[in-house]
């Protein structure tokens, strides 16, 4: 499965009153626009620029919308679901087992994949007819329904330093670390955190 990347307005007005000499009694006072008060178009442009700048900063440094392409993360993620990934999360916290992450495909960094982290650096993992064994214990995977399991096996391996073993939840169709091996930390660039579309799938990812 791969992914493809995708207010309220506050108005501030300041009244700048200035003291002026009164005109002669014989001359009628001419109406004048309040000094120093920007017109509504200037305020609209300013607010638009501020909003655009804030959006760029958020998308660049924190959250990025992506689109799911494929079905290897069923049942939680469906084809064409839209979700937010947190690009800053792993600068302040460790990658954990069970995290759903987005990474550059090791065989073609131009593509992005979304999978679940199954094993961490130093873990021993093997797969026996679809059952995942981690550090000598059977891994309980409630996120993989029975109908999405398969019977593939894999001999035991130790995950190298700074690498992570990834698998899709739809095991019978997922192309993952069983094929292309553990994923280097440098290729992981986001943590999937929230589905925002369609509405029926909206919610925090776990």
Q: Give catalytic residues, as residue numbers.
A: 72, 115
Neighbours of 66 (CB within 10 A): 21
* Residues 31-58 as b or e (16 or more Cβ within 10 Å = b): eeeeeeeeeeeebeeebeeeeeeeeeee
Q: Where are the beta strands (DSSP E) in the chain?
A: 2-5, 63-69, 82-86, 100-105, 108-119, 124-128, 131-134, 137-138, 154-158, 163-167, 183-184, 188-197, 203-204
- Residues with Cβ within 8 Å of 5's Cβ and at least 6 positions away in sequence, in order, are 64, 65, 66, 67, 112
Query: Is-cis flag, bond preceding 198, omega within 30?
Result: yes
Instruction: In whole angstroms, give the CA distance from residue 112 to residue 131.
Output: 27
């Amino acid at each position: 499965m791969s992914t493809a990347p995708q207010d309220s307005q506050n108005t501030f007005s300041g009244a700048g009153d200035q003291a002026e000499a009164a005109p002669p009694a014989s001359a009628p006072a001419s109406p004048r626009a309040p000094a120093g008060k920007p017109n509504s178009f200037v305020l609209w442009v300013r607010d638009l620029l501020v909003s655009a700048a804030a959006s760029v900063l958020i998308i660049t440094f924190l959250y990025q919308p992506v689109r799911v392409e494929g079905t290897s993360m069923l049942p939680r993620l469906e084809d064409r679901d839209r979700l937010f990934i947190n690009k800053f999360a792993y600068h302040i916290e460790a990658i954990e087992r069970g995290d759903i992450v987005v990474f550059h495909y090791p065989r073609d960094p131009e593509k992005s994949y979304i999978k679940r982290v199954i094993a961490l650096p130093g873990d021993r993992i093997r797969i026996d007819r679809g059952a995942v064994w981690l550090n000598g214990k059977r891994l309980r995977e409630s996120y993989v329904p029975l109908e999405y399991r398969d019977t593939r096996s894999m001999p035991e391996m130790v995950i190298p330093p700074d690498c992570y073993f990834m698998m899709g939840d739809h095991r019978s169709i997922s192309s993952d670390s069983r094929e292309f091996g553990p994923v280097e930390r440098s290729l992981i660039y986001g943590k999937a955190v929230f589905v925002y579309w369609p509405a029926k799938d909206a919610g925090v990812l776990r």
